[in-house]
């Protein structure tokens, strides 16, 4: 056994790596709340993203008996595998989560995702998961509180924006509870929160052209102070917005998710969309 392996076997826990956005959860009360929120049942296929030092991993194994984890940091693989022996059966996938095909991983047996996500990659991971929503039962993620607030916000809220609409169009988003910085080592500089996301069944989503829908939402929130007529001028005329049942003089933060879907579907059905110039509006998810 190498010196490194010996130190791992004795309970060595690698330090958090700042460039990977690592903050390891240690608060037992919060850990219990997360496990209770997930509430695994017999037959569930649990997949944890970024298990870190196993703070959530091992209690989930104690409760459920088996778990798959996706971990990018190779220094964590051995201590996770060794530590899991006393708790249950652990499958470790050493990959960047953004390269993992969740649909292939599910293999016709839908999975449940759990994770304390790195805050610098939270949005890409969320949208990657949504690309495979048909293979996912639900998701329980720890994220920056500010992000969770935006994810769950409704029309009229100051934080309702592109992220809110894009996620809520495909999922039910429920903010569960807040987590203070002291629950982590090292403590982050922001508060965190746990969110539950439950993908809508395909028939409830009702989006005819996902790329067009994303483009409408992107442009609508690109410059928040503009009315829909002005914000969407690269896509359609104000008369088309009105024909779809929306007020052209309204602003994006006033529009329900279902109305964005209705507008995109109307534009698709009536071939009213102007060509995309390829110039993104401001990439604003506020």
Directed axis angle between helix 145-152 and helix 122-130, to 10°? 40
Asked whether residue 200 is marked as a ligand-binding residue, the answer is: no
If 0-12 CB within 10 Å is exposed, 13-18 middle and 19+ buried, where does residue 223 land? middle
- 148 and 251 in a single domain? The answer is no
Q: Strands 24-25 and 184-185, how do they pair?
A: antiparallel
Asked whether residue 279 is marked as a ligand-binding residue, the answer is: no
- 28 and 144 in a single domain? The answer is yes
pTM over 0.95: no
Asked whether residue 208 is marked as a ligand-binding residue, the answer is: no
- 56 and 185 in a single domain? The answer is yes
The CATH number of the domain where 116 resides is what?
Answer: 3.40.50.150
Total number of domains in the chain:
2
Nearest Cα to 127, choosing from 156, 166, 85? Answer: 166
pLDDT above 60 (res 3): no
Nearest Cα to 79, choosing from 52, 60, 97? Answer: 52
- 163 and 21 in a single domain? The answer is yes
Domain boundary among 205, 233, 255: 205
Q: Dump pLDDT digits (tens) for 141-151.
A: 999 999 999 99
- 155 and 63 in a single domain? The answer is yes
Asked whether residue 50 is marked as a ligand-binding residue, the answer is: yes
The CATH number of the domain where 218 resides is what?
Answer: 1.10.8.100
- 124 and 261 in a single domain? The answer is no
Asked whether residue 25 is marked as a ligand-binding residue, the answer is: yes
**What are the tokens at 143?**
């994220």
CB 157 within 8 A of CB 131: no
**Rounded percentage of the chain residues whose pLDDT exceeds 90:** 77
- 150 and 116 in a single domain? The answer is yes
- 192 and 214 in a single domain? The answer is no
Asked whether residue 11 is marked as a ligand-binding residue, the answer is: no
CB 161 within 8 A of CB 225: no
- 79 and 201 in a single domain? The answer is yes
- 228 and 159 in a single domain? The answer is no
Q: 260 lies in which domain range?
A: 210-269
Q: Classify residue 276: in a domain, yes or no.
A: no
CB 68 within 8 A of CB 47: yes
Q: Report, as an integer, the average pLDDT of 219-238.
A: 93
CB 128 within 8 A of CB 152: no
Q: Classify residue 278: in a domain, yes or no.
A: no
Please give the radius of gyration of the chain, using alpha carbons only, rounded to the nearest integer. Answer: 21
């Amino acid at each position: 056994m190498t010196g490194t392996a010996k130190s791992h076997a004795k309970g060595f826990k690698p330090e958090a790596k700042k460039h990977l956005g690592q903050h390891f959860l240690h608060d037992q009360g919060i850990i219990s709340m997360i496990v209770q929120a997930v509430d695994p049942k017999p037959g569930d296929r649990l997949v944890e993203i970024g298990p870190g030092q196993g703070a959530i991993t091992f209690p989930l194994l104690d409760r459920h008996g088996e778990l798959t984890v996706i971990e990018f940091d190779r220094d964590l693989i051995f201590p996770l595998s060794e530590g899991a022996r006393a708790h249950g059966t652990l499958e470790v996938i050493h990959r960047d989560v953004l390269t993992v095909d969740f649909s292939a991983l599910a293999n016709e047996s839908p999975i449940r995702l759990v994770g304390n996500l790195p805050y610098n990659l939270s949005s890409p991971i969320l949208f990657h998961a949504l690309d495979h929503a048909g293979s996912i039962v639900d998701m329980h993620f720890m994220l920056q509180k500010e992000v969770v607030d935006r994810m769950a916000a409704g029309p009229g809220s100051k934080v309702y924006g592109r992220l809110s609409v894009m996620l809520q169009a495909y999922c039910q988003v429920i903010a569960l509870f807040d987590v203070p910085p002291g629950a982590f080592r090292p403590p982050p500089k922001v508060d965190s929160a746990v969110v539950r996301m439950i993908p809508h069944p395909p028939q409830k989503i009702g989006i005819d052209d996902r790329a067009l829908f994303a483009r409408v939402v992107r442009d609508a929130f690109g410059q928040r102070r503009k009315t829909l007529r002005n914000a969407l001028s690269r896509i359609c005329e104000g008369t088309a917005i009105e024909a779809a049942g929306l007020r052209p003089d309204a602003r994006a933060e006033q529009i329900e998710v279902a109305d964005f879907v209705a507008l995109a579907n109307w534009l698709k059905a009536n071939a009213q969309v102007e060509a995309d110039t390829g110039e993104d509006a401001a990439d604003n998810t506020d």
